[in-house]
Copies of this chain bind each other. A is one copy, B any other.
């Protein structure tokens, strides 16, 4: 095996700049950076311009000093919360799987789609939501989607729903806007959402919201099951169960 070493000088230099700035507690001037790193003046100017433009570093004032940029806080938090949700939720998902014997799903929002980020398969042996990483745009057909919709401002919700409409996926899908709004009120009231074969015939779900330390919606945890082992009369029992677990996960995330 030949180990080829790749080089992208411009990129490597930019990362050196970031590291240099990060390693100092105080802000750095242009010439401090210039003298610390072996980068020719015009190249450094270009790199700093790009990094500043993209928010990775910030300049204080017009002829000011350079420091790390807010974008890094954004990126760092983004990763941290992603990792945190999965790791915090896992033991609770296992607990719930053991208690109910059903499929437990952890989902979250990826841009404008719902995405399954973790799953423990139940002993029914039925794969219900397809695989981890799969995404769904049909919020109105999914319990997790209802949770997200219920958390939006009414305006925003309208926008989102107008884009894709309320297409009928199964004969149980809610296709009427007013009916959906009524359903969402129930979601808010209960603190969990229910899905009765609206995405796929023969499958029911109950799902509850997980909050992060900023009070935002971090994701959803849910129980999924074929209808033959998820009678309608279990709905409330299972709903309260996910809700309770979701609250535990939320506090594990640092909520409240």
Residues on A close to B: CB < 8 A?
Answer: 6-12, 14-15, 18, 22-27, 45-47, 49-51, 54, 56, 67-70, 72-80, 82, 108-111, 115, 117, 132-133, 135
Contact = CB atoms under 8 A, between A and B. Distances in A.
B22 A14 contact: no
A82 B54 CA distance: 20
B15 A49 contact: no
Contact of A76 (B77, B108, B109): B77
Contacts of A132: 26
Given A67-B79, A68-B75, 10 more contacts: A6-B45, A11-B11, A11-B14, A11-B51, A15-B50, A25-B110, A26-B132, A69-B79, A75-B75, A76-B77
A7 B43 CA distance: 10
A79 B69 CA distance: 8
SS of A interface (majority): helix
Given A45-B6, A74-B76, A76-B74, A54 B23 contact: no
Chain copies in the assembled complex: 2
Contacts of A10: 8-11
6 interchain residue pairs of minimum CB distance: A76-B76, A25-B110, A68-B79, A10-B10, A26-B133, A6-B46
